[in-house]
Amino acid sequence: MSATDAATSPSADTTEAPDCLVEQDGHKLIVTMNRPHRRNALSSEMLRIMESAWDRVNSDPEIRVCILTGAGGYFCAGMDLKTADAKPPSESFESGEYDPTVIKGLLKGFRLTKPLIAAVEGPAIAGGTEILQGTDIRVAGESAKFGVAEARWSLYPMGGSAVRLPRQIPYTVAAELLLTGRTLLAPEAKELGLIGHVVPDGEALAKAHDIADKIAANGPLAVQAILQTMRDSEGKHEDECWADDARVGAAVFSSEDAKEGPRAFLEKRAPQFQGR
């Protein structure tokens, strides 16, 4: 049975497959949201698996880059509106069971130390576009659809979009998307800079792998240091950044890998980086 068949199967909810799949391929970790029968709407299990995948990315030196995608030709339809009806999130906020300032599964208040590439096909709605904003490089099939729909259901974009979206795309467009909940297709998302690549439908994951392979072949210390500075300097005056920029850069220059890179160039061979 294909993923799309599973979407229409009455027994789709009772399958044994986990709500999120995590596979390692060399230096890449691939995280796949896996509830295609609900357009990969977020479940507690999915969020728990994503949290532990993010910890694995940060702690395992073998992992140099990560890809986030969805099964069955869909990215993610946001919060599961069917289960939210049975147990509203407000109950967990009120009881103190959940701290809404950090929603680690959605990368709110928590950042990976390695690059994260989103490979989007189909809908990336509400929570789907929210988690997208926690990724670094974004590729989408041409029919992919984006939007922050929460206000339509009188919900708040608790995945961080009211803070992040106006920083990532022009203010007036962010305001319109957040306040109307309208959706946009991949070409418009690319024009706005919300995503970086539009590819034919079905090819987003392959393109994400191409990009991931290039990153994985680079010096991991250099990659992580560049990412760190890009994030730490966000929103600061340039002059406030140079001391940290120099400190982080000097550590990279002092590494064994910084000797291996130029040596490989001279010897006309591919560098073999060790991450030290």
Ligand X SMILES: C[C@H](/C=C/C(=O)SCCNC(=O)CCNC(=O)[C@H](O)C(C)(C)COP(=O)(O)OP(=O)(O)OC[C@H]1O[C@@H](n2cnc3c(N)ncnc32)[C@H](O)[C@@H]1OP(=O)(O)O)[C@H]1CC[C@H]2[C@@H]3CCC4=CC(=O)CC[C@]4(C)[C@H]3CC[C@]12C
**Which parts of the chain fold into alpha helices (H)?**
3-8, 44-59, 81-86, 89-95, 127-132, 161-168, 171-180, 186-192, 204-217, 220-232, 242-253, 257-266
Is there a contact between 15 and 6 (Cβ–Cβ < 8 Å)? yes
Site of tokens 């294909």: 2
| Residue 103 is a binding residue for ligand X (CB under 6 A) | yes
CB of 33 to ligand X, least distance (A): 12
The site string for ligand X over 48-87 (x = CB under 6 A, - otherwise) reads -----------------------------xxxxxx-----
Catalytic, 62? Answer: no
- The nearer residue to ligand X, 27 or 37, going by C-beta atoms, is 37
Q: Positive or negative, the Cα torsion across 155, 41, 203, 18?
A: positive
Q: Residues 150, 176, 240, 260: which is the catalytic one?
A: 150
Which residues in the 108-127 window bind ligand X by CB under 6 A?
Answer: 123, 125-127
Amino acid, res. 204:
A
Applying CB under 6 A, which of residues 20, 30, 31, 39 lies at the interface with ligand X?
A: 39
Number of residues binding to ligand X, judged by CB under 6 A: 28
Cβ contact 63:117 at 8 Å: no
Which residue number, 92 or 272, has a Cβ lying nearer to ligand X?
92
Does 209 participate in binding ligand X (rule CB under 6 A)? Answer: no
Cβ proximity to ligand X, 96 vs 235, nearer residue: 96
Q: Is 238 noted as a catalytic residue in this protein?
A: no
Checking DSSP bridges between strand 137-141 and strand 197-199, what pairing results, if any? parallel
Nearest residue to the partner ligand X, using Cβ: 78
Q: Which residues pair with 113 in a beta bridge?
A: none
Pick one of 116, 158, 198, 221: the residue that binds ligand X (CB under 6 A).
Answer: 158
Contacts of 131 by beta carbon, 8 Å cutoff, 6+ apart: 68, 76, 106, 107, 118, 159
Minimum CB separation of residue 265 from ligand X in Å reads 46
98 contacts ligand X (rule: CB under 6 A): yes
Element (H, E) at 25: strand 20-25
Residue 169 three-state SS: coil
| Contact residues: ligand X, CB under 6 A | 38-39, 41-42, 47, 77-82, 89, 92, 98, 100, 103, 106, 123, 125-127, 149-150, 153, 155, 157-159
Residues known to be catalytic: 130, 150
